[in-house]
Structure 1
Amino acid sequence: MTTSIVINAESGTARQHGAAALRDLIHTAAAKAGQPDVDVQMVAPAQLPRALAAAAQGSTEIWVGGGDGTLRSAAELAMKRDIVLGVLPLGTMNLLARDLNIPLEIENAVAALCASTVAAIDVGRVNQSLFLNKSALGLYPEMVVDRERRRRLFGLNKWPAMIRSAWRAVRRHRMMEITIDHHGQRSEILSPAIVVAVGSYEFNAGRLFNRSDLQSGELTIYVSHEKTWLGSASQLAKLFLGTLQNDPSLQVIKAHSLNIDFRRTKPVANDGEIDMLKGPIRYAVAPKALKVRIPVEPAAS
């Protein structure tokens, strides 16, 4: 049976290789791994919803390569159609691919997916929107909004723009007045940053937002109680160093669902994609809702 592979033609890896070269690379890697019957489509972002729907029609699985928005759309479709999702690491951070132990080199990733098994993993919901790794309020969405502004106005690449935006957001250090309801408890909190994760993070040096358990059936809410920009800068440094779990100003909450209320509309970063939401917003975990391909053994990159 033919495996449909849909690639966001504007993803960083696709542009780096070039459409034709990447298509040939995937075909060659799949044939070498004993799966020569693949249909690789390089699709412009505006055409992705239609291409994904067409690829899923009558299929039991689709493989998808792209960034956060591409994977969210594909995951939503896979859950709706009850089909399997294969993840190719063609985005910037490739958080889901890393969590699934999929190699980051494209040839090895294809080989790993060809020799993989199927498992069901948890996903998160914020109101009706899906997120696969995290949903964030405060500093992180401020960084993302400013990063995209800088890329649009000044033509900066993603990481240089993000570094400048992170510095600006931390120095401004806007505090949020929010209310969190969970387990029948209501807490009023003043915080610069909140992250709601599907599962929980293992804080390791050089590995951001790393998860090992994708079937915990829980959300983990990380709440910063830092009151100064220097304190938040210190927390960011600890995040990169893998020592954030020891920070006394970080509150960790476990819940299956919760409500977060706030005044005014706020940007919320769902897997790096910005949604403008009004409070209150409701978070919930959907246990084992998404079927994905997981390598039998992590292949070397």
Structure 2
Amino acid sequence: MTNQSGEAPARRVVLVANLAVGALVDGGLTPDALRERLEAVGLTVVPEPRPDASLPERLAAAVEVPGIDAVAVAGGDGTLACAAQALAGQKIPLAILPLGTMNLLAKDLGLPLDLDGAVDVLATGLVRRIDAGEVNGHVFLINSVLGMPARMARHREARRGHMGMTDLLRMAAGLLRHLGRYPRERAVLSLGGTVRRVRFRTLAVVCGDYREGLGAVLSRAGVDGGHLTLYLVETLSAARLVRLGLGFAVGEWRRLPGLERHETDALTLDARKALRVMNDGEVVLIAPPLRYRLLPGALQVLVPAEDPR
């Protein structure tokens, strides 16, 4: 669609910034400053309809604004998963302003991690469909993790934005204590027509799969692969934890002993109690059974006009 001058009209976007994200909490940025940057590249920023509501409510309301071309979301991976909850299955694309700690989704999509570059993508980028995962109505874009990592996330959340070297050492010590203190999770796994009992330290369901190779830690091979990947670690001693970490570092972790891997588009995990689940870094308590399924091509996102791949 073009105007009378033959140029494409400026995109109309709603900007939703997670005020709890580090870059905003520390005072380095404000929503007004973000809005000015968007307007500086010719974007039309439509006011949020419910700026004082909770983040999920703000995102749900932003999707309903008529005549917009994208919802621009400023935050980390957990914020983007929250946005996907509102945008999955909709015709409105997600525009990412990566202000989180890891920004794993932005990296997987080849998005620039500097704010100016991300704003340029919002103004000039193309729409691409990516897969999402869902567990009991909770949408995730990267992974859903149970077991010890979800337990340890409580300590990270308590120190969000204030993590120093002492805190990192305490978390490492806590991780080693968790290896022996907590019993393994017990569940019944239904996968590919088979049902079996499992006990695990860590279980992860990944949208797509992780890449192998040196320097590929936590980066995925694709965002539209059309499958989920289940990883299961039944036991995790200190020695095995070190081997797993080294395997990730050198990119040869799939063949490590004790690491179980399956490709699927759906699975069910049943247990006697509610399970603590970490979806894209955010922890939620979910009552069993946990029903995982793939949502192929469910989310539209803006990516660079020139695919970096």
TM-score calculated relative to the size of structure 1 = 0.85
Q: How many residues align?
A: 292
Match of 2:23 in 1: 13
For residues 298 and 109 of structure 1, the distance between their equivalents in structure 2, rounded to whole angstroms, comes to 14
CA contact (8 A) 2:37 2:119 kept: no
Give the letter aligned to residue 131 of structure 2: D
- Decide which moves more: 92-101 or 80-89: 80-89
The CA deviation at 1:179 is 2.3
- Indicate the SS of the match to 2:101: coil
Do the aligned partners of residues 112 and 227 (structure 1) sit closer, same or farther apart at CA in structure 2, a change above 3 Å counting? closer
- 1:230 maps to which of 223, 239, 253: 239
For residues 144-176 of structure 1, the C-alpha deviation after alignment (integer angstroms, 9 at most, x for no partner) is: 023234x28xx8428864553344234322422
Do the aligned partners of residues 10 and 279 (structure 1) sit closer, same or farther apart at CA in structure 2, a change above 3 Å counting? closer
| Between structures 1 and 2, the one with greater strand share | 1
Do the aligned partners of residues 254 and 3 (structure 1) sit closer, same or farther apart at CA in structure 2, a change above 3 Å counting? same
**Structure 1, gaps ≥5 residues long:** none
For residues 244-296 of structure 1, the C-alpha deviation after alignment (integer angstroms, 9 at most, x for no partner) is: 22312211101110111233322111111111123321110010011111112
- 2:62 maps to which of 32, 47, 55: 55
Do the aligned partners of residues 162 and 184 (structure 1) sit closer, same or farther apart at CA in structure 2, a change above 3 Å counting? farther
CA contact (8 A) 1:26 1:106 kept: no
- 1:211 maps to which of 193, 209, 220: 220
CA contact (8 A) 1:199 1:215 kept: yes
The CA deviation at 1:23 is 4.1
| Between structures 1 and 2, the one with greater helix share | 1
Give the letter aligned to residue 89 of structure 1: P
For residues 56 and 200 of structure 2, the distance between their equivalents in structure 1, rounded to whole angstroms, comes to 36
Match of 1:92 in 2: 101
For residues 203-246 of structure 1, the C-alpha deviation after alignment (integer angstroms, 9 at most, x for no partner) is: 35455421132112111001113352321232134324433223
For residues 189 and 40 of structure 1, the distance between their equivalents in structure 2, rounded to whole angstroms, comes to 49
Do the aligned partners of residues 191 and 158 (structure 1) sit closer, same or farther apart at CA in structure 2, a change above 3 Å counting? farther
The CA deviation at 1:24 is 3.5
CA contact (8 A) 1:2 1:39 kept: yes
**Structure 2, gaps ≥5 residues long:** 1-10
Match of 2:8 in 1: none
CA contact (8 A) 2:14 2:45 kept: yes
- Indicate the SS of the match to 2:111: coil
Match of 1:249 in 2: 258
For residues 56-79 of structure 1, the C-alpha deviation after alignment (integer angstroms, 9 at most, x for no partner) is: 311232110112342122112122
The CA deviation at 1:92 is 1.2
Give the letter aligned to residue 220 of structure 1: T
Do the aligned partners of residues 294 and 236 (structure 1) sit closer, same or farther apart at CA in structure 2, a change above 3 Å counting? same
For residues 188 and 224 of structure 2, the distance between their equivalents in structure 1, rounded to whole angstroms, comes to 28
CA contact (8 A) 2:148 2:178 kept: no
For residues 227 and 138 of structure 1, the distance between their equivalents in structure 2, rounded to whole angstroms, comes to 11
The answer as to 2:177 corresponding to 1:171 is yes
Do the aligned partners of residues 205 and 38 (structure 1) sit closer, same or farther apart at CA in structure 2, a change above 3 Å counting? farther
CA contact (8 A) 1:112 1:298 kept: no
Bigger-Rg structure (1/2): 2
Match of 2:14 in 1: 4
Equivalences for residues 179-218 of structure 1 within 5 A = 179-218=188-227
For residues 203 and 4 of structure 1, the distance between their equivalents in structure 2, rounded to whole angstroms, comes to 37
- Decide which moves more: 96-105 or 224-233: 224-233
Sequence identity (%): 32
For residues 278 and 164 of structure 2, the distance between their equivalents in structure 1, rounded to whole angstroms, comes to 16
Do the aligned partners of residues 92 and 158 (structure 1) sit closer, same or farther apart at CA in structure 2, a change above 3 Å counting? farther
- Decide which moves more: 44-53 or 133-142: 44-53
Give the letter aligned to residue 171 of structure 1: R
Give the letter aligned to residue 202 of structure 1: R
Do the aligned partners of residues 168 and 84 (structure 1) sit closer, same or farther apart at CA in structure 2, a change above 3 Å counting? same
- 1:111 maps to which of 96, 120, 139: 120
CA contact (8 A) 1:9 1:44 kept: no
For residues 135 and 28 of structure 1, the distance between their equivalents in structure 2, rounded to whole angstroms, comes to 33
Do the aligned partners of residues 284 and 54 (structure 1) sit closer, same or farther apart at CA in structure 2, a change above 3 Å counting? closer
